[in-house]
């Protein structure tokens, strides 16, 4: 999926509204959340904790920016990193599985890994490429790949919003 260069004028308000809805629904349904973030650097967890009462919804947030952190904290394998790289669907899938494995309380998880820029991109993996994995504890990982447009701040904000949308989609109706 390619996201157009036009970014919502007030993406922060959009993120706040989405986070508030998630906190309310996750709290009401007793569905605690764990996040595993790389390129967003904790922005998803921060968006949730900006909402009063978020302690009933967010179990924990893990920022695993380095490959070592991904391996140590989430159980991402060296084989996955060697074969596919940190910016890959395979890595995102291992990140979300590891996040759920590391906490017995969380019922929902989201993982994000990508290239926010301005450097670090390549022809195969351009700046703006972000992989997501979302999962219910008893479900299978849902994988998503998006190439966002814009500068580093725009890519990170759009990735945060997308991750929150994925979490919202995991919540029981």
What is the structure's pLDDT at 172? 75
Distances (CA, A) of 115 to 41, 89, 91, 132: 12, 13, 13, 12
4 found inside a domain:
no
114 found inside a domain:
yes
Look at the chain and report how many structural domains it folds into.
1
What is the structure's pLDDT at 138? 93
pTM as predicted = 0.93
Alpha-carbon span 69 to 144, nearest angstrom = 22
What is the structure's pLDDT at 6? 47
Alpha-carbon span 163 to 37, nearest angstrom = 10
5 found inside a domain:
no
Closest alpha carbon to 48 in 138, 156, 172, 161: 161
Domain that holds residue 147: 11-170
pLDDT below 50 — which residues of the chain?
5-9
Alpha-carbon span 127 to 119, nearest angstrom = 7
165 found inside a domain:
yes
Distances (CA, A) of 150 to 33, 67, 126, 128, 158: 29, 25, 12, 8, 9
78 found inside a domain:
yes
1 found inside a domain:
no
98 found inside a domain:
yes
6 found inside a domain:
no
Evaluate whether 98 touches 133 at the Cβ level (below 8 Å).
no
Evaluate whether 156 touches 116 at the Cβ level (below 8 Å).
yes
At 142, which CATH number? 3.90.950.20
What is the structure's pLDDT at 23? 98
Evaluate whether 39 touches 114 at the Cβ level (below 8 Å).
yes
């Amino acid at each position: 999926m390619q996201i157009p260069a036009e970014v919502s004028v007030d993406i922060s308000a959009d993120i706040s509204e989405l986070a508030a809805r998630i906190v309310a629904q996750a709290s009401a349904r007793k569905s605690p959340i764990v996040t595993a973030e790389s390129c967003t650097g904790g922005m998803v967890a921060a968006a949730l904790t900006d909402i009063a009462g978020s302690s009933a919804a967010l179990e924990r947030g893990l920022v695993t920016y380095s490959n070592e952190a991904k391996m140590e904290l989430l159980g991402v394998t060296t084989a996955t990193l060697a074969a596919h790289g940190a910016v890959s669907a395979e890595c995102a899938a291992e990140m979300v599985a590891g996040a759920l494995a590391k906490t017995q309380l969380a019922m929902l998880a989201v993982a994000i890994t990508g290239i926010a820029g301005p450097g670090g991109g390549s022809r195969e993996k351009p700046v703006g490429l972000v992989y997501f994995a979302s999962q219910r504890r008893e479900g299978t990982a849902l994988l998503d790949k998006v190439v966002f447009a814009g500068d580093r701040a725009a890519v990170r904000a759009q990735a945060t919003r997308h991750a929150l949308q994925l979490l919202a989609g995991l919540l029981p109706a």
